[in-house]
Amino acid sequence: MEIKNLTTFIHVAEMNSFTKAAEKLGYSQSTVSFQIRQLETELNFQLFERINRTVALTEKGREVLKYAYQITLLTRELEESVEDEKEARGCVCLAMADSLCDSLLREHFPDFRRQYPGITLKIIAAGTEEMFRLINHNEVDAILTLDNHIYNTEYVIAREEKVQTHFVAGADSPLCGRKSISVKELVRYPFILTEKGMSYRRMMDEKLAGMSLEIQPVLEIGSTGRICALVEQGAGVSFLPDYVTREEVKKGRMGYLRVEDFEVGVWKQLLYHKDKWVSREMEAVMGWCGEREFG
């Protein structure tokens, strides 16, 4: 039994598609089909049901998948133990909140390139719902969410932490000198916000809706860096996670507003699917993200 056939089997099983597995592995579809037939012949039973172009594991196939994961993991561990340390190489795809893209790549990507020159990163900025669609279809390796706390046995939580959020205004705004501001008063000010429905913006809107309040922003834009710059210039008020605004507040360019009875519980979580085969490259990227993004 060849390891490469087991690796192909894992990819077909995870993607429910011979075509997608072939694209991922860089094989022709006929090669993938041949490797699966070869494996089925050796085992003497069918691994997949193929009906009307759909592909699904048989009961025996699900049993084999568990062993395939164990065999490939042991094989990888054996290779790493008997060979000189090799440079991690390959492509790892992450989906994450847009504001996390800004902080992670702007501040830390050069360090990543120095540490892992053989790894190519593909980053997809997406909302939480789209992230889970991508991870459930194995179109990304892991996701970095900024949302309500997510716990589901389908996913492994690699790292997590609660994120503080604040309403912010430019340092020259009279709001910064106030000891207390009511939410009802604050929503009358011009706001600059991230897109409606995106993570902490959605959570803020839901909290306000529960208070029968609503914000009509004068500007919606995905870049938190641009939002900070506009808030500093006095163009409006915003609602942002502290990791985005912390440095500007320290430098005295903007300030946190003391808003009465308003707290949003935002969580940053690094997740991957429980059935995902964690490659050496994926493990390295998740470790790097964990070191840079979590306290």
Question: Quick one: pLDDT at residue 142?
Answer: 95
The Cα 136–Cα 262 span in angstroms is 34
Confidence of residue 238 (pLDDT cuts 50, 70, 90): very high
Confidence of residue 256 (pLDDT cuts 50, 70, 90): very high
Q: Does the structure show a pLDDT above 80 at 1?
A: no
Question: Quick one: pLDDT at residue 82?
Answer: 57
Min mean pLDDT across 2-6, 139-143, 148-152 is at: 2-6
**What token pair was written down for 224?**
């938190």
Sheet holding 238-241, edge to edge: 238-241, 165-170, 254-256
- For residue 61, the tally of other CB atoms under 10 A from its CB is 21
Could you read off the pLDDT of 98-123 as tens digits, one per residue?
777 776 777 778 888 888 898 999 99
C-alpha angle 157/161/162, rounded to 5°? 130
Rg (CA), the chain: 24
Spatial CA neighbour of 202 closest among 98, 124, 93: 98
Could you read off the pLDDT of 56-71 as tens digits, one per residue?
899 998 998 898 888 8
Min mean pLDDT across 153-167, 229-243, 277-291 is at: 277-291
How many angstroms separate the first and last alpha carbons of the chain? 45
The Cα 260–Cα 245 span in angstroms is 20
Model-level pTM?
0.65
Average pLDDT value for residue range 188-203? 89
Average pLDDT value for residue range 257-276? 91
